Chain A
């Protein structure tokens, strides 16, 4: 339907330009594929979000009711909070640590290649397997982390088993998993930097910190922003680690939008509500992307 309208409009406009006409047919394959795999599922999701549909019962059109329910659903609102808390920490900390690691690995020292490879290893591991290993390490009685704490005389922590520490503990896993990724991007940036500004700065007697802050940081910023965009998208989407390690618990203390969405769709079979969550989630992602794109624009070398 939509396709027919578009082509109708095109031909009338293109009537002056006869050269285009033979090629218009080539639009069709791409248009059909796009409609089938992107536009249709999307519109269908929006449509579903306006319906009350529980698998096993009749579907009924309810308008905005699903959204109205979400607006007062404590669990949903909390999950938005958890998502942002998680995302901010899971983006910021790997960025800082990854940059530091990149600065270290940019210097020449013996065995650098070996250590670089070692450092990148976590990134190659499967998140689910990594999560299982961390689950064991977090165990309050049998886990290695509390043993390590006891070695330095600190009291044991409940890690992912207490409401207050669960998200920071999950962030530990994210840091371990994703710091190497940031490092690789920043390392690439560092390798592309010119050496002249540093020579000039050295002649002027600049300190190491001044050289980093006034030269390296601004020059590497565009790379950092790219890393930040990718990390933000990843962190928002984070599911495996949370699902495997805590299942959103204890209680709902680490339930992010993704986990909540999964519960609605596949545990409670509430397709309508789940679709509404998807639409809200999508709106949040679009808004965030706009902010990030704007940040990227600002960070460009001018």
Chain B
């Protein structure tokens, strides 16, 4: 107690000094007169935010007024579909004059490119400054993968982690019960279950997953994680997609999708899979964690209340759930970095991420919301889902390599995977794709 009082005194003293010096300094430093964190500190400013279409953006839009009242900062929010948003932010950042002050960075796609280009503002000092970051933000609650994503290779923190996307299994409990099957715990069990549940004559697929080029790579890396491997290793990253384990994982991918998935799965992205699953026409679906809300929505889904949310299956060598994620980042070129940082704190803070969890719109990199009974009681989807999310965290492994040409990587490996579904040999396809992509990766690391 005594200590904390004396610390406050000391801070007051410091603030008083700051107050004396204030008239000589610019307006921003003038705010340091108040010692404690104050949401209203950057009142009157207006910022522009770009977000990708989706539950996170919807949430920000819904509660935007609340933030504006809390801080006095006006927010212009632009919501654009994922692909276009990434193109737009890249091109505008490259132009040197982005029209936004805050945007949501997709770590698994943009991280390396953006850090190599040095487009982001270094927020490291602010994260340690009690006047810029309130104690209630609880930095310690954000998991290590979150900080790994937010920290650049040069050690600077340039974004605040917002949400993590794990891969998991959705099962149709009704179909499982009919055959008297238990939810699969291993990849072999999943293959068996898919075989037993597959009933094409009645329009039921035993299994469904992404086959579409590019989109299929995360599904493959999920299988690959069962062999305890990622797609690259070391720094600078070296491509290891033609190892015996990588080929074994590809053979699994080919077998389960060509044997137990519906025809035309080569063209399936998550939305086709989702459509099939929600119509009750697929027994097992392995994909990202964000699809619970539509599956539990009576107006869209025929499997409401019948969905089981379970951990991805363990592989022969390891048990992981691959993850992807996003955060909030401020461009170096922004003129309103302080106000943008306030918005970033709010978007990634405890309150907003708890709301995100409650609506099933995403899982925070934080662990407290997943344990907080108050948050969990407000869930709009089954608690089993939140349990599954909590279970994925300790076994998580990055789903995509942190490299510049992520899209090209996904296209090249994805084409190989799609070709396998068309009958090509996994070993030959992976060797070819690896040879094709290796020079591209090496070049990107030089530049």
Tell me the A residues contacting B by CB distance below 8 Å. 52, 54-58, 60, 74, 139-141, 156, 158-163, 246-252, 263, 266-269
Contact = CB atoms under 8 A, between A and B. Distances in A.
Given A158-B264, A267-B407, A56 B418 contact: no
B266 interface: yes
Interface centre among B114, B262, B263, by most A CB within 10 Å?
A: B263
Contact of A249 (B263, B266, B444): B266
Interface of B: 87, 90-91, 93-94, 113-114, 116-117, 119, 203, 211-213, 262-267, 276, 281, 404-405, 407-408, 411, 414-416, 418-419, 421-422, 436, 444, 447
A54 B203 contact: no
B90 A269 contact: yes
A56 B116 contact: yes
A140 B265 CA distance: 9
A250 B418 contact: yes
Contacts, number: 86
In the A-B complex, the 8 residue pairs with the smallest Cβ-Cβ separation, listed nearest first, are: A140-B264, A56-B117, A161-B264, A250-B266, A251-B418, A57-B447, A251-B415, A161-B267
B90 A55 contact: yes
Nearest to B267: A161
Contacts of A156: 263
Contact of B411 (A74, A140, A267): A267
A252 B213 contact: yes
Contacts of B212: 247, 249-250
Contacts of B405: 268
A256 to B, nearest CB: 15
A236 to B, nearest CB: 23
B211 to A, nearest CB: 8
A249 B264 contact: no
Contacts of A161: 263-267
A198 B447 CA distance: 72
A99 to B, nearest CB: 34
A245 B422 CA distance: 18
B404 A56 contact: yes
A247 B203 CA distance: 27
Contacts of B116: 56-57
A240 to B, nearest CB: 16
B418 A74 contact: no
16 contacts: A52-B447, A54-B444, A54-B447, A55-B94, A56-B94, A56-B113, A158-B263, A158-B264, A159-B264, A247-B212, A250-B421, A251-B213, A251-B415, A252-B213, A267-B407, A268-B407
Nearest to B414: A251
Interface centre among A57, A58, A140, A156, by most B CB within 10 Å?
A: A57
B267 A56 contact: no
Nearest to A268: B408
Given A54-B447, A57-B447, A139 B264 contact: yes
A54 B116 CA distance: 11
A249 B408 contact: no
B262 A249 contact: no
Nearest to B416: A251
B262 A247 contact: no
B415 A252 contact: yes
Interface centre among A52, A162, A248, A249, by most B CB within 10 Å?
A: A249
B160 to A, nearest CB: 22
Contact of A56 (B90, B262, B414): B90
Contacts of B281: 141
Contacts of A163: 419, 422
Contact of B262 (A141, A162, A266, A267): A141
Contacts of A56: 90, 93-94, 113-114, 116-117, 119, 404
A140 B263 contact: yes
Contacts of B262: 140-141
A45 to B, nearest CB: 17
A52 B439 CA distance: 14
Given A249-B213, A250-B266, 16 more contacts: A55-B117, A56-B93, A56-B404, A60-B447, A141-B262, A141-B263, A141-B264, A156-B263, A161-B266, A163-B419, A248-B213, A250-B211, A251-B213, A252-B213, A267-B408, A269-B90
B234 to A, nearest CB: 21
A267 B408 CA distance: 8
Given A54-B447, A250-B422, A267-B411, A162 B213 contact: no
A81 B41 CA distance: 61
B177 to A, nearest CB: 24
A79 to B, nearest CB: 12
A269 B90 CA distance: 9
B267 A246 contact: yes
A55 B91 contact: yes
Contacts of B203: 141
A167 to B, nearest CB: 14
